[in-house]
Amino acid sequence: MFDFIRTHSRLTLGLLVLLIIPSFVFFGIEGYSTMNEGNSETVARVAGQDIKRGEWDQAHQRNVERLRRQMPGVDAKLLDTPQMRRETLDGLVRDRVLLATARQLNLVPDDARLQRLFVTDPQFAGLRNPDGSVNREILAAQGMSTQMFEQQLRQEFGMQQVLGAVAQSSFAPTAVVGASLDALLQRREVQVQRFDAAQYLAQVNPTDADLEAYYKANEAQFRAPEQASIEYVTLSLDTLSQRVAVPEEDLRRYYDENASRYTATEERRASHILIKPEPDKAAAKAKAEALLADLRKAPATFADVAKKNSQDPGSAAQGGDLDFFGRGMMTKPFEDAVFAMKVGEISSLVESDFGFHIITLTAVRGGDKRPFDSVRAEIETEVRKALAQKQYAEAAEQFTNTVYEQSDSLQPVIDKLKLDKRTATVQRQPAPGATGALASPKLLEAVFSNDVVRNKRNTDAVEVGANELVSARIVQHTPARTLPLAEVQDRVRTRVVAVQAAAKARAEGQQRLAAVQKAPAEALPVTAVVSRAQMQGLPRQVVDAALRADAAKLPAVIGVDLGDAGYAVARVTQVLGREALPGGDGPLQQQYTQAWANAEAQAYLESLKKRNKVQIEEAAVAAAAASAATQ
């Protein structure tokens, strides 16, 4: 009875979060219709049913919040792009199409089938009572009724079957799989002669005219990006908390008022004997009372009696042992009895929904309060943060108003809020490895706005993180510019030397190619057996060219331009069988078949969109995206 909860108690909450709370189907399809009255503009239609902008906005906000929880440091603006909003809308449309199709095809399970699915699916084990019913207490703790949960499952099971039937029945023809694996695993013997540009570096000596010509033809390579030297100030919760003074007596008061937080959770270990009430409750009770009487006379035999008589399959074999558990882990009558007992005591008969229990308490742990000195630092941090949080709202308002109203300098806000001024040199995009405020694209966008650049004004207060505001101003702005030749002459020379050396390598390689094409039987210096998975140290361009060569005309002689690296001449001599894999072709065949199934499912989904007359109101979508960008 208690074996699942006892074994998986730490996983129960995670299961519920994954299973119940984020149900996009229930809230995204059925729940939004009553919440979008404030914005009733239609952005899409599926099977004659409208998707309103309010529904889209709320669904997108839920997605953004979910991603922010997964990536706490990410700038929310990066998650609120037109592309991300369109993906949310596509998801709403997809779910509407699947749900409509499930209803059209009668794939939504009836009550009997839904019960069978719920009882047999292992992922719901933590939500099932021993009799197969839904645990109402667990659902209630998540704010859901049984009816809500059933509706959610009914919709999800139906939607899964729409594409599942296609994906699970899909197969890839053997000939197609074989051709695809040949392209990946086929091996060819190839002879190669390389003409590396590095070998020709000493032979080139570009003139000043060469350098100037290259510079003029490639000025974009020698442009310095726009940058700005800035000064900036940060107001954060951490900054405020460091300044908060907390008297010792306040720390002790906090400790006393929150004693439960510093007391280890009490857990108890018990063993029990369960006698189930069916088929005859009176007989079951009589049997339990008889066993209890025997145990009163011989308490030491409890484990043996449990092994022989207990009807709890999860604990009987262990002599009724349930291991340690805390409050809220067991049914209430059982828990109340256990937490009222003394170690070694045997309870009177306890009746619960599962039957009649005889319980013995075997151990108690936890319940001890940690000393003040051991938690003082932790308490001080919490109290400082709490006090700073109260101050932050007022400080944030002062910060925002001051940097705006006295926009010609950051000094007023520095003096008023006792902040530190920092300096940096930035570009329009965060520098690699940048941290804190300088890693915020939102702040950099504000820094390089027209008003801030032109008038050297403070930026508005920019939120760069939770409880963290920043304002910056430009001290010196340097527009993007082409660097003069004199300043980049060494860089230009390096590039010209590389280009000329590659040209010499290419010329000699092409001469060699022409000679080998006239005498195709002539061998080249390096011989290797290559495939796309095993390139044997050869450049990818050489391997790809060798595998593309016409296998019907061997030997095939080809030339391969390696760009700045030089040139290569290759001679394909024979085609070999597939490269043998340690586990055989099976895993790759499965991956290919899965990819094939996904493609067929996607094609089927597209046909369902046409059948359900999906319409995207592009004008409304564009207007909504523009409005969101403005906000």
Mark whether 401 and 333 lie in a shared domain: no
Domain-embedded: residue 205:
yes
Q: Say yes or no to pLDDT of 143 above 70.
A: no
Closest CA to 134 of 276, 20, 274: 20
Residue at a domain's end among 429, 464, 479: 479
Mark whether 316 and 356 lie in a shared domain: yes
Domain-embedded: residue 370:
no
Q: Say yes or no to pLDDT of 5 above 60.
A: no
Distance between CA atoms of 461 and 97, rounded to whole angstroms?
Answer: 43
Estimate to the nearest angstrom the gap between the alpha carbon of 8 and the chain centroid: 25
The tokens of 63 are what? 């997605």
Question: What average pLDDT does range 102-106 have in this prediction?
Answer: 83
pTM of this prediction?
Answer: 0.49
Q: What is the pLDDT of residues 234-246, one digit of tens each?
A: 998 888 887 877 8
Domain-embedded: residue 56:
yes
Domain-embedded: residue 601:
no
In the chain, the largest separation of any two C-alpha atoms, in whole Å, equals 111
Mark whether 499 and 557 lie in a shared domain: yes
* pLDDT value of residue 583: 66
Mark whether 339 and 421 lie in a shared domain: no
Do you find a cis peptide bond into 587, omega within 30 degrees of 0? no
In the block, tokens 């969101």 appear at 628
Per DSSP, the residues of 559-588 read EEE-GGGEEEEEEEEEEEEEPPPTT-SHHH
* pLDDT value of residue 585: 66
Question: What average pLDDT does range 585-606 have in this prediction?
Answer: 80
* pLDDT value of residue 492: 96
* pLDDT value of residue 385: 81
Domain-embedded: residue 593:
no
* pLDDT value of residue 38: 41
Give the model's confidence band at 7: pLDDT under 50 very low, under 70 low, under 90 confident, else very high.
very low
- Tell me what the pLDDT averaged over the chain comes to: 84
Q: Say yes or no to pLDDT of 4 above 70.
A: no
Burial class for 40, CB neighbours closer than 10 Å (0-12, 13-18, 19+): exposed
In the block, tokens 């940060």 appear at 234
Mark whether 160 and 32 lie in a shared domain: yes
Asked if 557 and 520 touch (Cβ cutoff 8 Å), the reply is: yes
Mark whether 109 and 13 lie in a shared domain: yes
Mark whether 338 and 297 lie in a shared domain: yes
What are the distances in angstroms from CA 468 to CA 239, 389, 434? 9, 11, 17
The tokens of 172 are what? 């890839």
What are the distances in angstroms from CA 437 to CA 7, 67, 350, 592? 45, 20, 61, 45
Asked if 426 and 230 touch (Cβ cutoff 8 Å), the reply is: yes
Mark whether 274 and 383 lie in a shared domain: no
In this predicted model, which residue has the larger pLDDT, 204 or 253? Answer: 204
Asked if 203 and 459 touch (Cβ cutoff 8 Å), the reply is: no
Contacts of 15 (CB under 8 A, 6+ apart): 8, 123, 126, 127
Residue at a domain's end among 312, 341, 365: 365
* pLDDT value of residue 338: 93
Domain count, the chain: 4
Q: Which domain holds residue 72?
A: 3-169+611-630
Give the model's confidence band at 12: pLDDT under 50 very low, under 70 low, under 90 confident, else very high.
very low
| Helix, strand, or coil (residue 598) | helix
We report the CATH number of the domain holding residue 315 as 3.10.50.40
Mark whether 38 and 154 lie in a shared domain: yes
What are the distances in angstroms from CA 549 to CA 92, 480, 499, 576? 47, 46, 28, 14
Domain-embedded: residue 591:
no
Q: Say yes or no to pLDDT of 409 above 90.
A: yes
Q: Say yes or no to pLDDT of 439 above 70.
A: yes
Of 291-295, 304-308, 599-603, which range is least confident?
A: 599-603
Domain-embedded: residue 233:
yes
Estimate to the nearest angstrom the gap between the alpha carbon of 330 and the chain centroid: 34
Do you find a cis peptide bond into 555, omega within 30 degrees of 0? yes
Per DSSP, the residues of 74-129 read S-HHHHSSHHHHHHHHHHHHHHHHHHHHHHHTT-S--HHHHHHHHHH-GGGGGGB-
Q: Which residues pair with 186 in a beta bridge?
A: 578
Rg (CA), the chain: 37
Question: What average pLDDT does range 225-231 have in this prediction?
Answer: 95
Mark whether 19 and 135 lie in a shared domain: yes
Residue at a domain's end among 341, 365, 389: 365
Mark whether 322 and 392 lie in a shared domain: no
Q: What is the pLDDT of residues 18-56, one digit of tens each?
A: 333 333 333 333 443 433 344 678 889 998 889 988 888
DSSP category for residue 459: P
Domain-embedded: residue 180:
no
β-pairing verdict for 468-478 and 462-465:
antiparallel
Percent of the chain residues topping a pLDDT of 90: 44
Q: What is the pLDDT of residues 539-582, one digit of tens each?
A: 999 999 999 998 888 899 999 999 999 999 999 999 987 766 66
Mark whether 615 and 571 lie in a shared domain: no
Contacts of 374 (CB under 8 A, 6+ apart): none
